[in-house]
A and B are shown apart, each in its own frame.
Chain A
Amino acid sequence: MSPFFDYSGLDVTKSELIEMLARKQPHLALKDVELAVRCVVDHLSDTLASGDRIEIRGFGSFSLHHRSARLGRNPKTGDSVSLTEKHVPHFKPGKELRDMVDASREKFKIVD
C-alpha cells in the first residue's frame, strides 16, 4: 500500500468520459464510442505534434509556445545543464468555458 492517498480516482478519466458519451449515444456500442474517443484524442495530439493549432468554439484553443534554449540547473547537484529550444502546448479556455467555470465557483467545490 502506498503511504500516499491516491487522488487519481476522483478526476474524471478518459474511460468515464467514454461511458458518459455512450449513455448519450445508446445506438452505438461502447466499443465504438471507445474507438471514437481514442480517435479524437489521437487526432488532437497528432495536430499539436505537427505544429498546428486547434480551435474549438466555446471550449478553447490549443497552440504551441516556443521556449528558447537556456542554461538550466540540475536542482539536486546545482550543476548547470544546457537546454535546447523546444515547444510546449498551451491551452487558452474559450469565453463560454471561462464564464461557466467561473459562475460555478460558488455552487461547487473543486473535487480533489
Chain B
Amino acid sequence: MALTKADIAEKLFEDLGLNKREAKEIVELFFDEIKKSLESGEQVKISGFGKFELRDKSGRPGRNPKTGEEIPITPRRVVTFRTGQKLKARVEAYAGTQ
C-alpha cells in the first residue's frame, strides 16, 4: 500500500500530538506551498530529501506510438525531482524486490 496524505497526518498525530485537523492542514499546506512555489517559477530544495526543479522544454516533432502518426510536441515546462545525497544513499541500500 502506498503512503498517502492521510497516513502522514496520522503520523503527525501520533508522534507530535497535533490534533487530527491540524495534522491534516499541515500536510495539505506542505504540498500546496511546494506546488505554489513551483507555479511561480521557484524551485524547491528540501535538504536531505531532494530538490524539485523546473525545466523549460522546447517543442519537437513527436509521434503517436500506436498509430505512427506525426504530432508536434508543444514547448512546455516540466517538474523534475533530483534526489538528495542522504536519501539516495538510504534508498541504494534498500535490497528488497518490488
Q: Does B72 contact A (CB under 8 A)?
A: no
Selected contact of B2 from candidates A14, A53, A59, A89, CB within 8 Å: A53
Contact A98 B78 (CB under 8 A): yes
* Interface size, B (range): 35 or more
- Whether A51 contacts B33 in the complex (CB less than 8 A), given A11-B42, A11-B43, comes out as no
Chain A residues 46-61 with CB under 8 Å of chain B are: 47-61
Contact A40 B43 (CB under 8 A): no
Chain B residues 3-27 with CB under 8 Å of chain A are: 3-5, 7-8, 11-12, 15-16, 18, 22-23, 25-27
Selected contact of A88 from candidates B18, B76, B83, CB within 8 Å: B83
Contact A59 B51 (CB under 8 A): no
Selected contact of A89 from candidates B22, B26, B78, B88, CB within 8 Å: B88
18 A-B contact pairs sorted by A residue (CB < 8 Å): A12-B43, A14-B46, A17-B37, A21-B33, A43-B3, A43-B7, A49-B90, A54-B4, A56-B31, A64-B91, A87-B98, A89-B50, A89-B91, A90-B81, A97-B38, A101-B54, A101-B79, A112-B43
Please give the residue numbers on chain A whose beta carbons come within 8 Å of chain B beta carbons, in ascending order.
Answer: 8, 10-14, 17, 20-21, 24-25, 28, 32-33, 35-37, 39-41, 43-45, 47-64, 66, 86-91, 93, 96-98, 100-102, 104-105, 108-112
